[in-house]
Amino acid sequence: MAETVLTNKRRIELLEMRGIVKRFPGVLACDQIDFTVKSGEVHTLLGENGAGKSTLMKMLYGLYQPDEGEIRINGKVASIRSPQEAIQSGIGMIHQHFMFVPSLTVAENVALGLKTSFGSMLDLKEISKGLSALSDRYNLKIDPDIPIWQLAVGEQQRVEILRAIYKGADLLILDEPTAVLTPQEVDDLFRILNQMRQDGHALIFISHKLHEVLAISNRITVLRDGAQVGMIDVEEATKQNLAEMMVGRPVVLQYDIPPLERGSVRLELNQVSARSNRGNLGLNDVSLSVYGGEIVGVAGVSGNGQQELAQVIAGLRPIEAGTITVNGQNISGKSPEKMNSLGVSYIPEERMVDGVIKEFTVAENLILQDHWREPFANNGLMLNFNVIQDACRQAIKDYEIKTPSTETPIKSLSGGNIQKLVLARELARNPQVLIAAQPTRGVDIGASEYIHQRILAERETGTAILLISEDLDEIRALSDRIIVMFEGRIVGIVERKDVNIQALGAMMAGVH
Amino acid sequence: MIGNIITASVFASMIRLATPYLFAALGETLGQRSGVLNLGLDGMMLMGAFFAFYAVFITGSLILGLIAAIIVGGLMGLAMAFISVTLKAEQGISGIGIFLFGLGMSELLFQQWIGTPTTVSGIPDVYIPILSDIPVIGHIFFNHNILVYVAFALVPIMTLVLNKTNFGLMVRAVGQNPEAADAMGVSVTKVRYTTLIIGGILAGLAGASLSIAQINVFQQNLTAGQGFIAVALVYFGGWKPRGVMLGALLFSFVNALQLQISVVGVNIPSEFSAMAPYIITLLALVFASKSREKPDALTKPFERG
């Protein structure tokens, strides 16, 4: 099998999706979408969360069935009813969440599904041989006998790609492949994709990061709210016109940030260590000061201590050593409630878990922390519904939250609107210190822009802001200083004027 | 005194008593490795036990008895698969349903078709030339009926199937991460149906090993919860066939010892010794370490997309 994938003869020269319609209860996820990709090109699907990119690709990979429209391979109508049939027709997919069994080895994960007959014995040697041939060709080093869970995220992704090629994928769908990578790893990925393009693979690239889209694509199709906005060649595309097509109105990509007016130290961490959920020191001897009127960005690859950092400051995770002070007052080991009263506001990373109660209404979620206080409750006993309703309506207006009513369960709002509500609640207390963890993850560009403007406005009022994000563009756009975390430690601090993307990437990867 | 209690006979009955546990727990291991907890095991054993007994009672043919157990066990496995995989019902509850069905049905049919407790002549012990004649060893290991040998032979077979075959790889993958298996073109449904049907067949044989090989009678609730112990043994054994076998042997050793104590007439209230195996199981479960082989997707129905 390995031999055939090294030749340039492809089973898929041209793939066409024509007039694709997909409805879910209450939602038109894809509305008459046409999409084509041919051998030797990268065609990007660009759009906000919920624009229909993933739904469209899941139909191509046999995970969903289109309600209308047809898929043609080399001009012939193809019906793809399951991932197995997609793989057989030469379609592979790199999912956003890697499709591995972590306890199995690389070779076993590749073997999975290769033969679905129940009777046969496993031949892992044969697979290892084929993998070696492929990794030589793409200049990757992969040990077939190592369990997946021992590999770094970037390596796991390479295994995903090798596996797809090994299984004979002529067309490869990459669903947000760069979301989990450092800038260097993105460069490596693009090198692999370029070689695949030269080898005659057809590639579908899904992303919402504009500079990456411009760097790798031949053609770009933009989707918005399930509809096709347009298709342009990369030569005609700019960040500005792509962003406008995505959002449907002009978008500010570069913020006007007034010069830094540093106040006094608001938040100080002194040699703080804390355990992660796995029991190791997820946060290791971290010292850090955030001044009033300053935004400190925390960059790093997911899982390097950022979450633990946010949680110790918010009082949600016990600390092993060190002290945390807010305005000079030692708050180590205090409860989240105490933190709130000292003026620490927290926008949690997992807003659906830590930020809101899904089944509660918009109004109830707005008063979650202050429900027992005046004026929301009389004597801390009876809820004062009129006051709550008024406050909620005001927040909806001020923060441009799109909701049918104040009594709508929060879970039926979009990610961006839920995040705006969390923001409204957290900023209503005029915080001294704001911890914003992944404030725009899964939030569309329009709402992201709004949230960024709000955070910048807080900076103007003199709040000390710690911005934790895996989105390096967000960090760079907003931060006065950037600290980089790796394996629970701070490995670098960079001032805004000295930011160099290559150097940041190296620090994120632990090279420093 | 101790010599009176721990005799070669105790070890021989340990081996014999372990048989139904082995059949049931090995089948359960396969099902759980694919992500389905089958709490209905005891009910499946009862159905297998009854139909094996009934077939032998009517026809006198032991082969037909075994075939009946296999067919009925397989059908019970199919029912569990339909409820938990296709209908995606909560596994714990549907297992209890299967158990209660098996318990009630086997008793009803017994009352209707047979009525009074009767014995049949069960599967005879196999005489193996030379081996069976070895003193002590022969008595312990080589004087059993064929089902005993089949059950122990299943241990290495199950290990091989799980670790060295494509089917085993699919079972492990479906139990650990069904989304990944599905995306790789493995049918989660097919794999889980297969493991549950095989598990049902083995549960049927477990029942038959009681009703037509060990005690050769059928009565209401013949298994007395052995199927539930078998489920516990899978956890105890860390989802590995060999671990399950060790658990089954330990449990039946305590069982055999308790029988022997009551025979010898040591002055311990019999209720205490009767409780001992269950207490030991509980303690073993509490202290059993979390195994790396524990299927992450255990008890979770799979939904695509």
pLDDT per position as a tens digit, A305-346: 998 999 999 888 999 999 999 998 888 878 888 888 888 999
Residue B266 contacts by C-beta under 8 Å, 6 or more apart in sequence?
A: B5
Q: What is the pLDDT of residue A497?
A: 86
Residues of B in contact with A111 (CB under 8 A): 166, 169
Of the candidates A108, A114, A118, which has its C-beta nearest B194's C-beta? A118
Indicate whether B303 belongs to any domain: no
Q: A63 CA to chain B: closest CA distance, Å?
A: 6
What is the three-class DSSP state of B209? helix
pLDDT band of residue A67 (cuts 50, 70, 90) is very high
Of the candidates B177, B185, B305, which has its C-beta nearest A101's C-beta? B177
Of the candidates A64, A100, A119, which has its C-beta nearest B305's C-beta? A64
pLDDT digits (tens, 9 = 90+) for B204-261: 999 999 999 999 999 999 998 899 999 999 988 989 999 999 999 988 998 888 888 8
What secondary structure does DSSP assign to B140-158, as a single string? Answer: HHSS-BHHHHHHHHHHHHH
CB contact under 8 A, A119 and B180: no
Indicate whether B72 belongs to any domain: yes
Chain B interface mutation, best of A55, A58, A81, A103, highest count of B Cβ atoms under 10 Å = A103
Q: B163 CA to chain A: closest CA distance, Å?
A: 9
Q: Mean of the per-residue pLDDT values for chain A?
A: 88
Indicate whether B295 belongs to any domain: no
List Cα–Cα distances, A497 to A184, A259, B65, in angstroms.
21, 12, 84
Indicate whether B176 belongs to any domain: yes
Placement of tokens 């070669």 in the chain: B8
Q: What is the pLDDT of residue A9?
A: 59
Using an 8 Å Cβ cutoff, are A291 and A340 in contact?
no
Closest CA to A124 of A157, A146, A140, A139: A146
Instruction: Please give the average per-residue pLDDT across B71-88, as a whole number.
Output: 96
CB contact under 8 A, A101 and B167: no
Is beta strand A91-94 parallel, antiparallel or unpaired with respect to A171-175?
Answer: parallel
Residue-range definition of the domain harbouring residue B108: 2-289
List Cα–Cα distances, A440 to A416, A444, A453, in angstroms.
8, 8, 12
pLDDT band of residue B290 (cuts 50, 70, 90) is low
Instruction: Please give the average per-residue pLDDT across A231-258, as a whole number.
Output: 88
Residue A432 and residue A29: Cα distance in Å, rounded?
Answer: 42
Would the pLDDT of B270 be above 50? yes
Residue B82 contacts by C-beta under 8 Å, 6 or more apart in sequence?
A: none
Q: What is the pLDDT of residue B289?
A: 57
Residue A432 φ then ψ, to 5°: -80, -40
List Cα–Cα distances, B94 to A313, B81, B287, B303, in angstroms.
45, 10, 28, 18
Using an 8 Å Cβ cutoff, are B83 and B191 in contact?
no
Using an 8 Å Cβ cutoff, are A415 and A421 in contact?
no
Retrieve residue B262's tokens: 């009551």
Residue of A nearest to B195 (CA): A118
Q: What is the pLDDT of residue B288?
A: 64
Residues B201-216 as b/e (b if ≥16 CB within 10 A, e otherwise) read bbbbbbbbbbbbbbeb
CATH topology of domain A2-247: Rossmann fold (3.40.50)
B59 touches A: beta carbon within 8 Å: no
Q: What is the pLDDT of residue A3?
A: 44
Instruction: CATH number of the domain at B266, please.
Output: 1.10.3470
Instruction: Please give the average per-residue pLDDT across B104-118, as a whole number.
Output: 93
Q: What is the pLDDT of residue B1?
A: 56
**The whole model's pTM is what?**
0.78
Q: What is the pLDDT of residue B100?
A: 97
What is the three-class DSSP state of A147? strand
Residue A329 and residue B11: Cα distance in Å, rounded?
Answer: 70
B240 vs B268 pLDDT, higher one: B240
Retrieve residue B271's tokens: 């209720």
A95 touches B: beta carbon within 8 Å: yes
Placement of tokens 């079972």 in the chain: B171
Would the pLDDT of A355 be above 70? yes
Instruction: Please give the average per-residue pLDDT across A238-253, as a whole number.
Output: 85
Indicate whether B300 belongs to any domain: no
A10-14, A115-119, B47-51, B119-123: range with highest mean pLDDT: B47-51
Q: Residue A125 is which amino acid?
A: K
Indicate whether B278 belongs to any domain: yes
Residue B165 and residue B159: Cα distance in Å, rounded?
Answer: 10
Residue B270 and residue B250: Cα distance in Å, rounded?
Answer: 20
Q: What is the pLDDT of residue B283?
A: 76
Q: What is the pLDDT of residue B68?
A: 97
**Total of domains in chain B:** 1
Retrieve residue B255's tokens: 């069982």
Question: Hey, how many other C-beta atoms are within 10 angstroms of the C-beta on B282?
Answer: 11
CB contact under 8 A, A101 and B173: yes
B42 touches A: beta carbon within 8 Å: no
Would the pLDDT of A379 be above 80? no
Residues of B in contact with A93 (CB under 8 A): 183
Would the pLDDT of A117 be above 80? no
Q: What is the pLDDT of residue A1?
A: 44
Instruction: Please give the average per-residue pLDDT across B276-301, as a whole number.
Output: 76
Residue A491 and residue A510: Cα distance in Å, rounded?
Answer: 8
Q: What is the pLDDT of residue A222?
A: 95
Residue B26 contacts by C-beta under 8 Å, 6 or more apart in sequence?
A: B151, B154, B155, B158, B202, B241, B244
Of the candidates A97, A99, A104, which has its C-beta nearest B172's C-beta? A104
B170 touches A: beta carbon within 8 Å: yes
Q: What is the pLDDT of residue A512?
A: 62
Q: Mean of the per-residue pLDDT values for chain B?
A: 90
pLDDT digits (tens, 9 = 90+) for A434-489: 999 999 887 877 788 889 999 999 999 999 999 999 888 899 999 999 999 999 99
A7 touches B: beta carbon within 8 Å: no
Closest CA to B75 of B190, B197, B195, B191: B197
Biggest alpha carbon–alpha carbon distance for chain B? 65
Residue B188 and residue B211: Cα distance in Å, rounded?
Answer: 35
Indicate whether B48 belongs to any domain: yes
Of the candidates B168, B181, B304, which has its C-beta nearest A63's C-beta? B304
Indicate whether B294 belongs to any domain: no
Interface of B with A in 178-217 (CB under 8 A): 179-187, 194
Q: What is the pLDDT of residue B244?
A: 94
pLDDT digits (tens, 9 = 90+) for A20-61: 999 988 778 899 999 999 999 999 999 887 788 989 999 999
Q: What is the pLDDT of residue B98?
A: 96
What is the three-class DSSP state of A13? coil
Residues of B in contact with A55 (CB under 8 A): none
Q: A106 CA to chain B: closest CA distance, Å?
A: 13
Cross-strand bridge partners of residue A206: A45, A175
CA dihedral B220, B225, B231, B234 (to 10 degrees): -120
pLDDT band of residue A431 (cuts 50, 70, 90) is very high
pLDDT digits (tens, 9 = 90+) for A272-300: 999 988 778 889 999 999 999 999 999 98
Q: Is the ipTM of this complex over 0.90?
A: no
pLDDT digits (tens, 9 = 90+) for B133-156: 888 888 888 889 999 999 999 999
What is the three-class DSSP state of A103? coil
Instruction: Please give the average per-residue pLDDT across A238-244, as a whole number.
Output: 89
Architecture of domain A265-361+431-508: 3-Layer(aba) Sandwich (3.40)
Instruction: Please give the average per-residue pLDDT across A190-215, as a whole number.
Output: 92
List, by residue range, all CATH 3.40.50.300 domains of chain A: 2-247, 265-361+431-508
Closest CA to A222 of A197, A195, A251: A251
Residue A353 and residue A275: Cα distance in Å, rounded?
Answer: 20
Worst-scoring range by mean pLDDT, A116-130, A203-217, A368-382, B254-268?
Answer: A368-382
